[in-house]
Each structure stands twice: as C-alpha cells, then as structure tokens.
Amino acid sequence: MFLMLNENIKAIRKSKGLSQQELAIKLNVVRQTISKWEQGLSVPDSDMLISISEVLETSVSTLLGETVTETKDDDLKAISEKLEIINLQLAQRKTTRQKMLHWLFISLCAVIVVISAVLIVSNSSYLGWDYSEPETAVVGVAFHAFEWIFVRLAPIIFIGAILGIFLTWKKV
C-alpha cells in the first residue's frame, strides 16, 4: 500500500502534465515536499491527501491504490487509518536505519582500535626492511603511506564515530 501511494501520486501528476513544482504551487507546499512524497520518504496527512486528489482530479481511493469507492462519511476515517499504517512503516524503516547506523559507528570504532593496536605492535617494522628490491620498496612505501594517513585521520574519524554512537544511542 505504501508503495502505491507514492507511485500513484507521481504517475497521476505526470499524466496530468504537471511538474513537481507546478503541483507544489497548487498545493501551497515546497517542491521538496512533493519529491519526498513521490520517493516514499514521507506521506501527506489526510487533509493534504484530499487536496492532492482535488488538484489531480482523482479520488483519494485511486491515490491509495483502491478500486472500490467508499461512502463519504467513511472516507476520512479510512484515509486516516491507511496513513497511520504508512506512517508506522516509515517509522519502522527509520528505526531500522538508526540501528544500522548505530552499529556501523560501533564497528568503525572497533576497526580503528584494532588497526591502531596492530600498528603499535608492529612498531613500523617496515622501516628496517632492505629497500634495494623494487617490490619490497613498493610494499614498504604502501605501508608507510597507509600508516601516515591512518595516524592523521583515525583520531578525527574515531571522535566522529563516538559522537555518532551517542547521537544514535537513544534512537536505537
């Protein structure tokens, strides 16, 4: 059902020859709002859904993907129930993304700690290698470049990941 609403708004808008900007002007919203509806990132409330149906000259049931028409009294209630389901789906998707992001930050911190430990234990042993052979020289330079970049970027990324963990903590 959720996919039908965003796809139907887009398809009907295009069939009427309206751009997102033109539809936005008719509905007194910004173009980005139309874009979010059509991408399924948000949904219009029941009043706005009625306005969309009027502007696009189609029924709310058609926008929601139904073929049956309901009585006028039940329209608002049915629309509200469907929008509630769609909003729950959006909330679940957002919660899942938050959890994934939270664990990504934790994993990033763990990887940085492990790589740092390996670099500390190795104590830049590649500096003592015999660089007379080209292959050894290339590998040694690659190790040195990685270590040089890692030592400069890891603290910044680590702090950012820690902040990310705390910012996503309550939302998990």
* Residue 117, pLDDT score: 93
* Residue 69, pLDDT score: 43
Report CA-CA distances (Å) from 91 to 84, 86, 94.
Answer: 10, 9, 5
2-69: which CATH architecture?
Answer: Orthogonal Bundle (1.10)
DSSP 17: T
Per-residue model confidence as pLDDT tens for the chain (172 residues): 445 788 889 989 999 999 999 999 999 999 999 999 888 888 898 889 899 999 999 888 888 876 534 445 566 777 788 888 888 888 888 889 999 999 999 999 999 999 999 999 988 888 888 889 999 999 999 999 999 999 999 999 999 999 999 988 875 4
* Residues 6+ positions from 148 with CB-CB distance below 8 Å: none
Q: Got the DSSP string for 25-73?
A: HHHTS-HHHHHHHHHTS----HHHHHHHHHHTTS-HHHHTT--S---HH
Q: Is residue 124 within 8 Å of 142, Cβ to Cβ?
A: no
Backbone angles phi, psi at 19, to 5 degrees: -85, 170
Q: Is residue 68 within 8 Å of 59, Cβ to Cβ?
A: no
* Residue 135, pLDDT score: 92
* Residue 73, pLDDT score: 54
- The pTM score is 0.53
